[in-house]
Structure 1
């Protein structure tokens, strides 16, 4: 009987240790996906979602005036099943890497690059851009702790910290 009790206690201890180790290995920027349909085009955005964690994001972690991968780790990808218009400009069906250049003046350049598989923005090549559009950013009161993309009926919104980067899609 004592042996069974000791084995049961050992089993509980092992399960507890495995659970603790599994919790420690959660990614700092977990993979995420946003899906939606706009005017018949299926849109899928795949990204890694970093957290604010008390940091200053815009103008610091994400510098103004520099190309940013619009997420963490691999470059964010934007896929559309049909040709669309982004901010009134044509974008063919396909999969693109999505980059953003935030500016201190309340605007951002949203970039759709033909090289979909990239690590970050380290090998970003402007010559591979399929489309660039400039949008107005929006300061908000509510903190978005993790970076999130939302697909609406009329476009896409990137939310992180206390800033939104919206762009229209038709």
Structure 2
């Protein structure tokens, strides 16, 4: 009888722990929900981006969040990932096909976009030793204001990072 009670307690504990873990993994309930972009450009590059969408919530972009001059994870939660199915030119610079962590150093008028070989894990602990490529991107101002960070890809191969009144267009095209 005692062994049956012990077994029941172990099973109940196991179920409770698994349920709690599953709740933590439910990304839809996070304040910065997960999103994905899947696009194929007019020159045949398939781009896949996985990221989380933080909101401004009254914070000032460049001051309170995504601070000017500091490395930012280009989203929230886990590292934002970007994957190309073929070798590409990003802002005219070569980047081999593969999966990368996407980081940004925001600037007043020009930001630095970083493609890191480290693409797994939480969005902290950035190291420039893992950089595969860095490219500049000129900021433009958009209208209307974008409260929740958004990434889109147009058919011409421009990845747009939009938040607040800032849009960072990043040109991507097939390398050959």
Using the alignment, how far apart are the partners of 2:75 and 2:48 within structure 1?
14
Counterpart selection for 2:137 from 131, 135, 138: 135
Aligned to 2:94: 90
TM-score in terms of structure 2 length: 0.78
Using the alignment, how far apart are the partners of 1:118 and 1:110 within structure 2?
19
Using the alignment, how far apart are the partners of 1:89 and 1:44 within structure 2?
19
**Partner SS for 1:73:** coil
Aligned to 1:109: 112
Counterpart selection for 2:157 from 151, 154, 159: 154
Task: Give every structure 1 segment of 4 or more consecutive aligned residues whose post-TM-superposition deviation is greater than 6 Å.
Answer: none
Aligned to 1:50: 54
Using the alignment, how far apart are the partners of 1:118 and 1:64 within structure 2?
24
Using the alignment, how far apart are the partners of 1:80 and 1:141 within structure 2?
29
* Mapping 1:7-18, distance limit 5 Å: none
Superposition CA RMSD, Å: 1.2
Check whether the contact 1:97–1:118 (CA below 8 A) recurs between aligned residues.
no
Unaligned runs of 5+ in 1: 1-24
Counterpart selection for 1:119 from 112, 118, 122: 122
Using the alignment, how far apart are the partners of 1:161 and 1:154 within structure 2?
22
Per-residue deviation, residues 136-156 of structure 1 (Å, max 9, x unmatched): 011223111111111012310
Using the alignment, how far apart are the partners of 2:36 and 2:96 within structure 1?
21
Using the alignment, how far apart are the partners of 2:125 and 2:59 within structure 1?
26
Using the alignment, how far apart are the partners of 1:117 and 1:33 within structure 2?
16
Per-residue deviation, residues 49-70 of structure 1 (Å, max 9, x unmatched): 0112222122321111111000
Counterpart selection for 1:35 from 28, 35, 38: 38
Per-residue deviation, residues 85-144 of structure 1 (Å, max 9, x unmatched): 00000111110000000112x100000000110311x22111111110011011223111
Using the alignment, how far apart are the partners of 1:135 and 1:158 within structure 2?
10
